[in-house]
Structure 1
């Protein structure tokens, strides 16, 4: 087992010392969703570094931070390739359900496509609380994990040739589009995502450059903390608390093991 895989396994609390294989990928996705938060603290603090293998490993593994999609999915991609997976990164456009249209930020979502035994699958660990904890086939088949149902629809648009769709447990009664992506336009390299980081950090319509946000999955649901509220979903029941500075720091330490 390589050093990267060993460090990654320790970071997400995955026991054992064997390489990561296809059959163990759901366990990897579940552990990563629980232990590495989706968060924008680097953007809010204007602590922005180039997207590179070295910087991702330093931030997420050694510094034990989280990140956004252009950080979390590239790290997982590096680990998958390190373990012999046939994987590529690609970009997508997130769907805005409030306006019923795709976001004007452009192709700012990053996800992973994996070729396995003649089929292509999507893996995503960078979509907030909307994570499929198992690979989703591009064939259109619906797959389930403990947090909901997920599928890929072949739906050519100006934003790509497929859409990722979800029906989250306890939250959705109908299918919702998450984002459109282009299976035929793999990213040229990690440095391509510096453009995304610049947009997310500076665009007036970016949802991630105004207030702090951190979220992760739990065994019974998920927890989300912002400057204004703390929200916990547990077995289908939701509780919400208003936050002040002291309460924010307490919840950040309690649920994310991070000091403010």
Structure 2
């Protein structure tokens, strides 16, 4: 198989000569979010494979598919590692602010942490349309991007020692919880993520084992496709289309190349 670093750069549109500095991570995150969709088609179509470097690279960098958080953030983890960073993967629990409750699937959100100049940051490319698009410091400082405002706060709860909050440009007037995570228990081997995949595939409260979901950041907002609707946020304006199966497959190909 070709070098993962080369494949990743080709997939998201980063020059082979670009030096991936901390300051360049904004560009990496934006390009990744606009190129590799957050999607669950492998689960819905019952064609998942073991989580490994080779399988992830084949799926997302050669076959040009997308993935869920444990796939997207792991391929980013591998890319960052090959470019001189020392990232760590940690697990977290997402919060459903509509239902005002933590996910019943437990700590199945997977996210990267990196350290730069003594400061730790969340680097997340696996949270659908809610991506910060920039590293978010664990210091509590607010980070603003084209997608909204984000901050991480120290906490002491059964769900972890930090929480990430967001205020999306297109719909949030107040801060809401994205997820909590435990910074003290990094994943030791990516094979551990097979447990996460199994839970997402089998758990009755999983949001990703019931119907297809595909979403991607765009240069003007984001787009989301399910089996019954196609939603577009363009310059903070909402457009929603009710669709049938035929239209689903057309949009899947036209907008997501899947």
- For the aligned pair, the TM-score class normalised by the smaller chain equals over 0.9
- In structure 2, the partner of 1:108 is 108
| Greater than 2 Å deviation, 4+ residue runs | none
Deviation digits for residues 5-32 of structure 1, max 9, x if unmatched? 2211110012352232211100000000
Where in structure 1 are there 5+ consecutive unaligned residues? Answer: none
- In structure 1, the partner of 2:9 is 9
- In structure 1, the partner of 2:232 is 232
CA RMSD of aligned residues (A): 1.1
Where in structure 2 are there 5+ consecutive unaligned residues? Answer: none
- In structure 1, the partner of 2:125 is 125
TM-score normalized with structure 1 length: 0.97
Question: How many angstroms apart in 1 are the aligned matches of 2:45 and 2:254?
Answer: 21
Question: How many angstroms apart in 1 are the aligned matches of 2:223 and 2:122?
Answer: 24
- In structure 1, the partner of 2:165 is 165
Give the length in aligned residue pairs. 257
Deviation digits for residues 39-82 of structure 1, max 9, x if unmatched? 00000011111111111001000110000000000000000011
- In structure 1, the partner of 2:187 is 187
- Give the CA deviation at 1:194: 0.6
- In structure 2, the partner of 1:246 is 246
Deviation digits for residues 131-180 of structure 1, max 9, x if unmatched? 01110000000011111000001111101000011000121000010000
Question: How many angstroms apart in 2 are the aligned matches of 1:66 and 1:145?
Answer: 23
- In structure 1, the partner of 2:85 is 85
TM-score normalized with structure 2 length: 0.97
- In structure 2, the partner of 1:34 is 34
Where 1:23 maps in the other structure, the secondary structure is: coil
Where 1:26 maps in the other structure, the secondary structure is: helix
2:37–2:215: 8 Å Cα contact kept in structure 1?
Answer: yes
